Every structure is written in C-alpha cells, then in structure tokens.
A and B are shown apart, each in its own frame.
Chain A
C-alpha cells in the first residue's frame, strides 16, 4: 500500500494494490499513472454515467470464503447498455474483476493464455475449450470505455473500444475473452447471485436506480412529444404517441428509430408505470413490447413487459392470449441434449428438470412503448427456442451476437391483478399456454389409485360374502328306483342356510338315456311341514330322429327360508314304459352369485379414471396444438 499526492490538486491518493498502475483522484478526477516512485497526471477522467449499481468503492464482499475489497472500476458502454467492471483486491494481493451488468454478477480472474479463435471467427453458441472446461459463447460485443475511478491494473482511455466475448461454462462457470490486446486476455470465474457475495458497505439501495422524483424530461425525436426517463439505466425510450425510439443517454434525445405507427396499438393490458410486489420484491413496469411470429402465414403475437427492481435488476412478464409468465435470465447455462431419440428437437435440462422442446420461431419486435436498457428497435428479430416443463418455460433467444437464456414461470392472473392493484377483473385466458400447469396433473393417478383400491376391496368383500353364503352343497340325495314310478326316496334331515333370499338349486344328475322321466322333487321343512315342489322332466326325446335332451336337470325354488329340510325324490312316469331302474343324485344348494356384480361395479368405477385420463390427454393435446409437434406437423 502506498499513498501519493495528486499532482493536480494535492489530495492524497492511496494505492492499495501492488499491481495497480492507474488511479483516479477522487477529488479532481485526475488520472494518475505510477511511474516508478513517481506518479504522472495524464489528464482528467471523463464523468461516469449515472447507473444503478449497488457496488461502490470500498464495498467488501466474499468469494469462495475469501474476503475482497472493491478498489476501482471501469465503466463500459455496449449495445445492451452500461456495465461496470469493478477491480477487487484480496488480502493476499490477488486481484479479480467483479462485473455488474443489470444485476447479473460475475467474478473472474485472469487465466493463463490459451489458444482461442479470433473474435471475428466466433459465433453465438459456439463451443470453446478453455483449460479443461467447455464453454459456450453467449455474447459478442464491442465495448467502449466510458470512464474509470479508483485504482486499476492498466492504463485506459475514455472512448477506447475493445471486442469482448462472454462465455458460459458448466454450472456457474463464466469466462470473458478480451480481444483488446494482441494476445487475448482470458478471464474465468463464476456467475453468482448477488446474495452469495455477502456484500457490505454498499450504496444505499433505496436511492439507487430510480430517478422518479427527478425524472429527466426529453422530447421524442420523432413527434416532439414529451417523454421521460425514470431509470438511470435506461438507454432508449419508445414514445407512447408515435412509437419512435429515442436515445436518452445524453443530455438531448437522439433518434434511434423513427416510427409512425401509433404505439398505442400495442395496447398493453398492464399499464406501463404500474408497480406491484411480486415474489417479495417491488417491481415497476417500465416498458412494453409486442412481438410476433408468423407460422404458415398466420401471425401470432404476444406481449412482453419489462420490469425493474433495484435489487433484482430487470425481469419480464410475458402475456399471450391472457396467459402470463414471470421471466428472469437463467443463473446457469441450461444443457441441451446432443441428440433426440424421439424425432423431436433435443430437450433441455435445467435445475434438475427436463424441458421438452416446444417451438422454434423467428420472433420480431412489432411495437414498443416505454423505457428499455438496450437499444430496442421495431423490426429486431431473434430465433427463439422454447422448452416447457409446466409451470416453467425455458427460452433461448439467439441473435447474430448473443444467445440469452431465460426461465419463466406461469402466473395466476388473479394474483397478478392483486399484486399490481389493477382495476377490473383479471383477463380471461384463452386456450392452453405452453407452460400452463395442467389442472389434471397428479389427479389421474389418484383416480386410478381409488379405482384399484375399490376394485380390490370389492373383490375381497365378494369373497367374504360368498364364503359365508354360497354354495357348499347342503345335501346330496342318491336315488335308485324303478322307472315305472310309484316309489320315492326321502333324504335324511339336512340344514339349509338362510341365503338372504337366494334361490335353492336342485341339480339332478342321472343315468337316463334314450327315454325321459317325469320326476317330482320336494323340499319339506320338517319343523313346520311347509313344502316347495318342482315337477321336472329329465332325459331325452326323439325329434327328427335325434335324441334331444339331457340326463341332467337343474331346477330352482324361490322363497325357501333357512331351516331343517328333507328332500323327496320320486319318479312319476316314464316313456317308454319299462321296468328298468334309474339312478342318480340330487344336489341341493343355494344359488351362487359369481363375479357379475363385482365386474359391473368395477366397470362403472373404471369410467372415472378413464374420463380423467381423457381430459388430461385433451388438455395436453390443446397445449401442443400450437407447438412444432402438433398432430400432422413434421
């Protein structure tokens, strides 16, 4: 650590890092360059652009259990706005860069030189091997230095431009390749959530970002109507009258794109400027754009609201046919399967979930209203791939210089209306959204489970009832008597169960052949003398010279209560008459029921899971009807 005197104003300036080469005087903005033991003033540093970063010189944080201090920064400008690279020092003298781009924080360390393709050879989503890790190019930009403050490890000038490639690796891994030198500088590190750094000595977050009370007034570069900039990070404002896009980064608005189409046609459902609490943070809707795709000549449009929160940065709320999703950039790079075995485009994996590819389309910006942190223009296009795992939707947007991934979650309209205190009832959603949770999810299983339980219980009950009631033969009566008639056989007394009204079956098997017999069967209650009688014919008759009939006969008696009975068997007549004998047995038992009632019950209950399954299938069919995989689509 070394303290020097500013040659310009005489104020003390302390270099904390041994590797720090440049310092910017905090009082007079003089740029001090260490030259041996001396310092030289090489000019006054330009003003930093106002931004909403919560980091400041002196902020302390931690990375991998090592504390660091923020000692300087370089502010850059690029196509998507302004970002700051904060120079941080660790107690052992090691330095790193902490980047804050719209609340996306990365920390990276200078890596050993590696052969990498030239900047012009890189393309978004291209895979590179850095060290032993595979990275994918996510962003290619030309960054311009705005200004710096504090102490920094190299000389820089305002307006100096550098080609920069951002890459994402496995998990939280992140890399930047800086092509400003002949040998590209490679920095590798991690992209981590704000909270992980455990920052202290931050700027007062309540005073950062919003400039509402002193919103800067501009004139629309198209129609001259008054427009306002509410956020320090806003790059452009799209006029609500004519839709013209005006650059508001300077003192006077500059034309970015003249539009004559009335942007009111965008007609956002949620007014720009609305504020509401969502997921525990206050959000403001600062911009709205309507985007569209054309599929087979049919135009489909949806709305995207840009939301801002000073701690969380930016988020999106998408609206399609009354369906809303809350969307944020992914913390890690999702993994896309290399091959698909289903004939579909490969699925994606993120947060341990599998997302099925839904659609690929070229989306175009059709209308814009409000403030944006990048230079949005009507007509901007991107190739969008959507992957769904309801209620989540994972989207990859690819432009010529960037691949960005975002994760959306389906939003309940009633909650949204309440959160943003919107007037009137929530809009009614039409159809099924790609990531709309199915109201049938998990329910079909419940239906099947109940059906199976009911079927098993029914089967057991049936078995129990049959076991106690049915058809052990109450008795068997053997007979052997002349066929001429006149004799009878009376069984011993036997017990007949109650049977709850079931019929009594008299099942006769005999040796009759070539003739028929008229038989009488009578059940007699030995206690009260009440009798039930069945007169039957058993045997064969000749019809067209064929013996037709059966040596068996089955009769049933109804209304026979339980009790003690005898069975009387007699032969009354026979044809042809002769003196032969007939022998056989009569079994007496209650009518068994079989499984018909159980089958009937199970069949009825089966309708419910089938209907539930059908409804689920129907819901999913509606969901996929607008995908690349609708029935009939290739």
Chain B
C-alpha cells in the first residue's frame, strides 16, 4: 500500500425524525405492515400533489447551523427521474442545484489525538423510496411503500478523508451530531442512518484525484471501514497491475467482505433533473433561521470543552462521555448527585458501567442502572463507607439485583471498618497469632508489612479502611 494515498468522500443519508412524511401526512413509524403507511400521495396516484413538511425544513436548518454552514435563503426542489417499481411517481423529489444547506464542516479527532477539519459541501432534503421485496411471493416481487416519502437529509462531504479510519470517525461524528440535534434516531439497522462512500486512490504526491468508485448503502461503521479498505486494496491492485479503475457504482457484500460492480458510468441513469413545478422554491428568512438557532442544544464539541473545564476531565474522557447526549446527560446527573469527585464518576461511567451495558447490549438510556443509583455508590466511596475494591463488588450486586448501594452494603455487611478500636483489636489478634513474623519484622524484615496488612484484611473481611489500617499497623508493629 505504500506510495498510495486514499481519497474518500461520504454521502450520508439521515432519516429525519419527523412524525409524518416529507410531502404527505402519512406516518413515518418503522415496522408497520406493508403499505399500511402509504396514502395516495405516497402511492403517486393521478392528480395528487406534494406539500412540504415544515418540520423537515426546521430539522435540516438545525443541521446546517450545527455544522456552521450557510442556510440558503432560497432553495429549490427538483425531480430526479428514473423508473423503478418502488419509486411510485417515477421521480424522486430531491434538491439539486440549490440545496438548503451548503459549505459546512466538522472536526474529527484522529488516532494520534490530533484533529482534522472535514468539509461538508452540502446537505439537501429529499424523499426516500419504498422497497421491493423479492421473497415470499412466487414469481413476482412485492412493493412496500411505507418508506416512500420518508424525509431524508443527504449530507455530502468534501473528499477530505484519507483513510477508512478517518471516514468512520467522520461518520460517527455526524451520527453523534444528528442524535444530539434530535433530528434522526441514528438507527442503522433500520436504515435511518446510512452512507455511500466515494473512494479513489492516487500516487503519493499526485495532485489530481484518481477515478473513483461509489460504494452504495453502507449501514454500519464496521462495514464502512471494511468496504473502504477492501476497495482501496482492489483499486491499488488494479493500478499496479497496469489496469485502470472504472468509474462505477459498487455494492459491498458483508458476507464475503468484498465490493462488487453494480453499474458503470456508461450504464448510469440520466436523471433529467429539473425544478419540481409542484413545489414553490423554499424561501427562508433570517428570522426563521434565528428562531431555529434558538432551539439548538449544546453541541458535542461545546459539551466536551465544558466537561474539560467544568469537571477537570482529560480530553479523552470528555470525548467519550459526550459521544451521545444520553451518556453525557447521565454523567452530569451522576456528578450532580455525587459531586465529590468528578473524575471518579467519569472512571465509573466509562469503566464499570460501560462494560456492564456493553455486555448486555444495552445503552445508557435503558434505565437498567439509573444515575442516582450509581451516584449512591460513588458517594459511599467518597465518604469511605466502602473502598474502591469493595465498590466493584457492590456494583455487580446492584447491577444484578437492582438494589441501591446502601442496601447492598448493609445486607452484605460490606461497610468499611473505620473504628480505630475495631481495627486495633484485629491487629492485636493477628500479631498474637504470628509471633515469629512479628519478631522478624521487628528485626528489620520490612517486607512483612504487606503480610500483616493481608492478614488483617482477611480477618476483617476486606472491610478495614486501608489508610487507617496502614497507619495503625505501622504504629503497633513498631511497638
């Protein structure tokens, strides 16, 4: 691979979380029985007309503002004409020459910790198509138009990414952003968030872009990474073998881990775009844009910066904790309820909690361990009721039983021993039972200190406060 540079641009399709479709009043909910959510407009019946959903416009503007883009004062819906059975009108209403959002950017964090700005050429509104079903109906295909007319925003990046990892980092960043903005549920299994990747390679130092292939419909971060890496190797192989990369559309086959040609440029459709005469140009004034700006939440980068300054967290922690709004909110709730040690809270959220959630394939919003429960545990660590080590045991019990930290500590008798008299009594007993070790220690065998700590801990069931134990033990042993 050396001597080659990879160039990647992504076209991300995010389904907007409106209740109704972009040009009709049908519901957009996922999973209804086929065609239950397709009305006459969605079915493209003779005489019907589209009416633009204002909520979809508001969501696109939100996105535009969040990526510091220009919101077009006038954008135009156009028809993209092609025949396909799941495209009811024979054209898709999209935006072509004048999109609603242009010239934005996002910053991604690279593996070495550095950052990189990824340009976003444009984002435009369009309607989704339905889907064809080729199984279950003998000799025929079925058409489900529930998805037809679902609002999408297509976010087109500049060819600014130079590796599959950068592409994934960018896609994750957009994914985080649209969920923060509450304009897309980000559900990749259901196809709410997917992308096409434009991939090309060129000799290092070469200025001109190589011929690109477009890999269609990638619906997981892992697939994006694998498909791009496969495609890059394939193109390099072709070029090193003296061949030429063909401009074409390719499909990624996740089972085989390879991309396959779908159609070449010569076979590509001529979409015959022209402004849709059924829809007036979309005109947005500054007052509208400002009213949308007023609804913007704190964005991921702003939140991460605040976490660093407000909670004294390292940049890495701030990045992880702000990756989703739910996680960030959870963290802040924990800190609010257990304010003694924000870093301790970060460690627990990113460590024990994340691991436990991950293991059961849950997310933080699942409610399995509410923030107040975790805060209750952290409070007991901070007030030294339990040690950090015992806390992990408590956490596991809280996770499996749903009990609070206090009730686990009480019922299992895990409360840390902080009564100096009790600790001293335990020390005395251990010393009495181990006269030989005591003599050796006093003769200068300092290493035996650890032995006594262990013995006392064993005697107290691990509950002795470690700091107190150390102090009292040292005093007693030295006689």
Q: Bound pair: A and B?
A: no
Query: A residues engaging B (CB < 8 A)?
Result: none
Residues on B lying within 8 angstroms of A by beta carbon are none
